[in-house]
Amino acid sequence: MSLESTPADEALDVDEKGPTGAAPVQRNGQSRLMVNLERFALPGLFAVVLIFFSSWSTTGHLFGTAANFQEVASNYVYIGILTLASLIPLVCGEFDFSVGQNAGFTQIVVATAMARFHVPLPFAVMLAIAFGALVGLNNGNVVARLGVNSLIVTLGTSGILLGIVEWYTNGQSISLGISQSLLNFGSRNYGGIPEVVYLLVIVALVVYYLLEHTPYGRYLTSIGSNARAARLVGLRVNRLKLSAFVISGALAGIAGVLLVAKNGSASPEAGSVTDTLSALAAAYLGATSIRPGRFNVLGAMLAVYFIGFSVAGLAIAGVQSWVSQVFSGGALFVAVVISTLIGRRRSGAT
């Protein structure tokens, strides 16, 4: 720096300097508290839910058991992976509304491959992932190249997949001829933890790494923040968006395999738009914590299990099933409202 460059030095503490002798502004004190409240509201609420249902006399004897924890942990792996699948397009500002139905489609693929064509398990799994990615490729092509609204495109895809599943299965479940090792994977524990949970942890770590620790993740975030500016710093916006949908589809393929592993069969009813909604709810709810205002993996996973354990607790307490539905819907509602407010404050505070 040259000698006359005092402005920069003054600049860093510009808030304190009052040319007319004004009192220095008390900054960050309150706002830092608020930020931390915001970041840890969801984990805190999660802890409250766990403690409440474990200690409440009506639910404690069932809720606070290892069996219940294993059950819930295992049951929500599927939603967890769907959440990760929907997270990647969300980061670059696009919706993938087809993840749930895509999982419903790929579970038929994996089950059919094994039951009808006697494909060995590893290849059947790869086939399911490939089909899922293909669905994503199709979504991505239409969204990125033609510039069609992703919500509408993927909603359409969802409908088409539902139709294909119904046509191919004739409404019948596929339960014979499914690899025993896949079924074992869906039901067994390792070290007291359901094996499927390890899968979720691995996938979550990979997605976390991808989004937070690679240029690719930064690019997707940039596109989600301002696609035009992203193009002007040399990013191939269309190609990146396309890839986000492909990854999302591939993850939906993994979710489809998991459905078969968990259910022991491939049912045409499993894997639907309802699951997409749960995944989107968790992604949005997750965006209100850990890194408020940004879609993030840890927040999303917390959100999945916050909803999971809350619904389980309510069920044990004996509330009717519609209460759980209202709870999940309400969580999405509140999450979207809060993340919108956070976003507004972050970008409107000048």
Partner 1 sequence: MTTEATPDAHRPWRRVALRIDHLSKTFPGTRALNDVSLEVEAGTIHCLLGGNGSGKSSLIKVLAGVYQGDPGGTITVDDVSEPADRTTPEWARAAGLHFVHQDLAVFDGLSVAENLAIGRGFPVRRFIGAIRWRTLNRRARDVLDRFQIHVDPKRLLADLRPADHTMVAIARALQDQFLAGDEGILVLDEPTVALPSAEVDVLFSALRQYARAGQTILLVTHRLEEVISIAERVTVLRDGNVVATLDADQFDYDKLVELIVGRALDSEVTDGVDLEGEDLLLEVSNMSVGPLRGVTFGLRRGEVLGVAGLLGSGRTTLLTTLFGLRTMAYGTTKLDGQLVAFAGVDQAMDAGLAFVPENRSDSAFLDMDLRENLSAADVPKYWHRFVLHQRQEAEDARRSVVEFSIKANSVYQPFATLSGGNQQKAVVARWLRRKPRLLLLDEPTQGVDIEARGEIYRLVRKAVAAGTSVIVVTSDFEELARVADRVLVLAHGRIAGELRPPHIDASRITELVLSASASDQAGDGAHEMETSHP
Contact segment (CB under 8 A) with partner 1 among 157-165, 207-215, 305-313, 317-325 equals 207-215
Q: Where are the beta strands (DSSP E) in the chain?
A: 189-190, 193-194
Should residue 20 be labelled a site residue for partner 1 when binding is judged by CB under 8 A? Answer: yes
Q: Check binding of 145 to partner 1 (CB under 8 A).
A: no
> Is residue 31 within the footprint of partner 1 (CB under 8 A)?
yes
| Nearest distance from C-beta of residue 7 to partner 1, angstroms | 5
Residue 232 binding partner 1, by CB under 8 A:
yes
Report the sign of the C-alpha dihedral through residues 325, 328, 334, 335, in that order.
Answer: negative
Select from 8, 146, 170, 322 the one that contacts partner 1 (CB under 8 A): 8
12 binds partner 1 (CB under 8 A): yes
Q: Which of 213, 320, 325, 337 binds partner 1 (CB under 8 A)?
A: 213
- Scanning 75-83, 136-144, 196-204, 223-231 for contacts with partner 1 by CB under 8 A, the matching segment is 223-231
Structure tokens at 163: 């139709």
Cα gap 27→24, rounded to integer Å = 9
- CB-CB contact of 243 with 140 (8 Å): yes
**By the rule CB under 8 A, 3 interacts with partner 1:** no
3-state secondary structure of 166: helix
What is the token pair recorded at 103? 């999982």
- Comparing CB distances to partner 1, the nearer of 24 and 171 is 24
Cα–Cα distance, 42 to 292 (Å, whole number) = 11
The vertex-320 CA angle with 315 and 325, nearest 5°, equals 80
Q: Which of 240, 242, 281, 114 is nearest to 181 (CA)?
A: 114
11 binds partner 1 (CB under 8 A): yes
Tokens of 334: 């509140």
Q: How far is it, in rounded angstroms, from Cα 286 to Cα 335?
A: 8
User: Under DSSP, is residue 294 helix (H, G, I), strand (E, B) or coil?
Assistant: coil
The correct pick among 141, 173, 175, 221 for binding partner 1 (CB under 8 A) is: 221
Least separation in angstroms between residue 41's CB and partner 1 is 17
Q: How far is the CB of 150 from partner 1 (least distance, A)?
A: 19
**Candidate ranges 54-62, 123-131, 222-230, 249-257; the one touching partner 1 (CB under 8 A):** 222-230
Judged by CB under 8 A, does residue 173 bind partner 1? Answer: no
Write the CA distances from 24 to 11, 47, 79, 228, integer angstroms.
15, 39, 49, 39
Q: How many residues does the chain have?
A: 350
User: Which DSSP symbol is given to 289?
Assistant: S
CB 336 → partner 1: shortest distance, Å? Answer: 16
Q: Which stretch binds partner 1 (CB under 8 A): 94-102, 107-115, 136-144, 339-347?
A: 339-347
Nearer Cβ to partner 1 (195/212): 212
Q: CB–CB of 63/316 below 8 Å?
A: yes
Q: Which residues bind partner 1 (CB under 8 A)?
A: 1, 4-5, 7-8, 11-12, 14-15, 17-20, 22, 25, 27-28, 30-31, 34, 212-215, 217-219, 221-222, 225-226, 228-236, 293-294, 343, 345-350
